[in-house]
Structure 1
């Protein structure tokens, strides 16, 4: 995710890795031309990788009904399928920093894009629910390491342009999310109507994302004397040595932020996994339902720029939390009362509400004073939050199947917005985890 970028931009300019660009080790030269070439290659890699961090999820959401029928999948099993993404992000994301230290971040991201490609190629033809889930987990494993390591690569290669590269990364991620939601159904129909074809198509985009990283896979991140960033390594090490140890679980702010992250992730994955199906069950055509999901997702493009900058200007982010929560409550209420009649309005409102994600990332950076504190808080909030979010989509599937409709699941999602607003207000208070959790 983008926690590292937002946190470092708002609190510190010290690089988290102190590592040099890969040009010195990959192209065998340290001159400006070689570094410029490598940096441009990294930009292409970042954009293509970000485009691939959500299509595996939203393309499935657009074709979930066809997949369920084709595999004979129950509502509970479909709910399990929509719970797999946050579980994989929590489990595999933890391993990403260790893998990056051993093999280098570029090599691990390259492997992650290859895993996405393989998973998307295999899962439509796995022949059963278990195989479909396993292949989906392979693709999501690649997404998980990309989530964690993209910010590391951005900070390492562009330490003085974190803001602009964060915007580029955010825009590409939201664009990939929304295009997959909008285009999957039309492309499937144009190519014969088989859901297997519609899901397989996105493997081509993932394969393209492997290519820019191939010249960089030998990079292990060893600082180069030619790189100005290497001069700041002793400074970063001194900062880490002077930072008091944090017992992060003793911080009430850290727990509030973790629960807020988990509840907003629950809403996001329920939206990506089920919203198109909710509209289709209300009589909205499949193509239009995919466009509605795309509208919800694409709201993250402009708001990912606006919300973090607004949040950093306020000492307390509680008012933003409440505004986003109110949009979520209105959206779920509309889906409950008139899902088809006001479909576009509900899609817009839920799109605004789902922008609690960049707000959560921004608050991670604001709730710690040092780079080391941001890193520790980020790891705790994301891992705990994603684990909290795992049962949500599964519960929605169970409630949908047991009740035979969307009334109870939507009421449950609306009810979850209330604790999300409460813990968000607590997490948004002007304090730091160092003040609460210093050992």
Structure 2
């Protein structure tokens, strides 16, 4: 009973950590017919996800220490449900942004709290349960942009957004049950370690900084592609339907690999070879998209999708490289907090460079430089042993 309810909780919570992000962008044109969406709105809504994920990454470990991982997970899912549900009903851009902040804060807290829950309840099955966690997170990234427009055609754009509020309500219901039953974890989280000592130790640990930088550079490119892949393809002459399909494809590849990489990470002494290969794939995809976008757009998209698939690997490494659930909570907060703050600059800088004098050349130089930084930290970030 304990195993089944916690596994169900991990599944429904993980799925709801991305639909509020990727299910929105395909609907912005339809929304603009009812709500005035100026350039400022579009810039802010693009930066909010990684910014909130980063800030909540640093705050979440202290919240877990004070209120328990189960209570915080219930609160996070409730924030997601309320934020997504109410924002689908408003017509004021400012209110929409404020409610998005509420929902994204819940997602940011959820990002951090699930790895220590896996560590606490399944210490002897970290690989398999991490595969489930990461796979469902990637599924929640891939499905929404694929079905957002068909749902809007059937239900209106508000109805399309409300679908993801509905899935979040399911997660709230499951975590209410878990909160009432309070199944005992196999190991416990130490409030002192999570809230202070453990986090301070990570700040002086080069390997923790390396893992945070590797994760941050992955998310940096993730959010650039989420924002800019369709516009880059339409600028190259492709129609918007094809561009949307390529966005779904670039999110589908990490979904598929997310079911494989955690098990590989456990079996391999070091995951450095995987990360290096994926970095080279990312660089090749960017070069193709820049220099010959019409030659093989599907190939470039596949290479880019492989390249950003180190994110599920990084989530697994957080769990594998920590000694216990308290260390996992602190490492998860540090890595995801700092990583997402790095990522928040990606879409903005890329967009500024695209519209500047140097144009696409400077923008692609930026993302290629991020790949070099990621390569530089790969070996220490993936080194075997606990951080």
Range class of TM-score, shorter chain: 0.7 to 0.9
Q: Does 1:345 align with 2:299?
A: yes
Show the counterpart of 2:350: 396
- Alignment check: 8 A CA contact 1:110 1:214 kept: yes
**Matched length:** 384
- Bigger Rg over Cα: 1
Relative distance call for 1:209 and 1:372 in structure 2 (3 A) is closer
Q: Residues 234-288 of structure 1: CA distance to partner in whole angstroms, max 9, x if unpaired?
A: 9x99x99xx9997433333332222222111111122223323433444444443
Kindly state the Cα deviation for residue 71 of structure 1 after the two structures are TM-superposed. 4.6
Which aligned pairs between 1:276-287 and structure 2 lie closer than 5 A? 276-287=230-241
- Alignment check: 8 A CA contact 1:254 1:377 kept: yes
Q: Does 1:207 align with 2:207?
A: no
Q: Does 1:319 align with 2:281?
A: no
Q: Which moved more, 1:194-203 or 1:418-427?
A: 194-203
Show the counterpart of 1:17: none
Residue of structure 1 aligned with 2:210, choices 256, 271, 281: 256
Relative distance call for 1:43 and 1:431 in structure 2 (3 A) is closer
- Alignment check: 8 A CA contact 1:53 1:173 kept: yes
Relative distance call for 1:134 and 1:43 in structure 2 (3 A) is same
Relative distance call for 1:244 and 1:268 in structure 2 (3 A) is closer
- Alignment check: 8 A CA contact 1:59 1:181 kept: yes
Alpha-carbon distance between aligned partners in 1 of 2:314 and 2:325, rounded to the nearest angstrom: 17
Relative distance call for 1:245 and 1:210 in structure 2 (3 A) is closer
Alpha-carbon distance between aligned partners in 2 of 1:419 and 1:165, rounded to the nearest angstrom: 30
- Alignment check: 8 A CA contact 2:19 2:164 kept: yes
- Alignment check: 8 A CA contact 1:120 1:139 kept: yes
Residue of structure 1 aligned with 2:91, choices 127, 151, 154: 127
Relative distance call for 1:258 and 1:233 in structure 2 (3 A) is closer
- Alignment check: 8 A CA contact 1:296 1:351 kept: yes
Show the counterpart of 1:360: 314
RMSD: 3.4
- Alignment check: 8 A CA contact 2:116 2:328 kept: no
Q: Does 1:273 align with 2:227?
A: yes
Relative distance call for 1:402 and 1:285 in structure 2 (3 A) is same
Alpha-carbon distance between aligned partners in 2 of 1:68 and 1:328, rounded to the nearest angstrom: 33
Which aligned pairs between 1:142-157 and structure 2 lie closer than 5 A? 142-157=106-121
Relative distance call for 1:287 and 1:47 in structure 2 (3 A) is farther
Q: Does 1:164 align with 2:105?
A: no
Structure 1 alignment gaps of length 5 or more: 1-35, 434-439
Residue of structure 2 aligned with 1:116, choices 80, 83, 86: 80
Per the normalisation by structure 1, the TM-score is 0.75
- Alignment check: 8 A CA contact 1:60 1:273 kept: no
Q: Does 1:198 align with 2:160?
A: yes
Show the counterpart of 1:427: 381
Kindly state the Cα deviation for residue 55 of structure 1 after the two structures are TM-superposed. 0.8
